[in-house]
Amino acid sequence: MRYLIDGYNLLHSTRLAISQSPQPIYELIELLITITQSDPKKKFTLVFDGYSPKYYDYKTMPTHGNIKIIFSMDESADDNIIHRCELAKNKNELTVITNDRSLQMHAKSHNVPIWTIREFEHFIEKKWGDLHDNEGF
């Protein structure tokens, strides 16, 4: 199963502790590495708008073969994700993770399953415990 994640949408919408990190992309990748190590069938593609942030260094970034990181550069992350949905050969092997309603509608129109950020958090909690940032909750 490949999970196609609207990167900044996740980071700005999640209650996971990663949202408070000074380098949230690193924290998110560490979390996804934990998931893929315990379940190698899980694959993640993180799509972020624009160019990589200054702190993001490909040389020091933790990596795992089941995780792809894409910065969409001059294209929006939404358009990049929509394009990937259009090209997917097996739509049931792909799930889009976003709270963006427009992106959800596009994914559905291509018969690609969607999860909200909350559903993704629930998936993580169910298998890996409570990883929420509990400040304010």
pTM of the model: 0.84
Per-residue pLDDT, 101 = 97
Q: Which domain holds residue 102?
A: 2-128
| 24 in any annotated domain | yes
| 112 in any annotated domain | yes
The count of domains in the chain is 1
Residue 108's domain is classified under what CATH number? 3.40.50
| 135 in any annotated domain | no
Contacts of 103 (CB under 8 A, 6+ apart): 6, 9, 78, 81, 82, 96
User: Is the model's pLDDT at 136 over the cut of 60?
Assistant: no
| 134 in any annotated domain | no
Per-residue pLDDT, 125 = 83
Closest CA to 2 of 79, 75, 107, 76: 107
Q: Strand locations in the chain, DSSP E?
A: 2-6, 43-48, 67-71, 94-97, 114-115
Per-residue pLDDT, 46 = 93
**What is the rounded average pLDDT for all residues in the chain?**
84
Per-residue pLDDT, 45 = 94
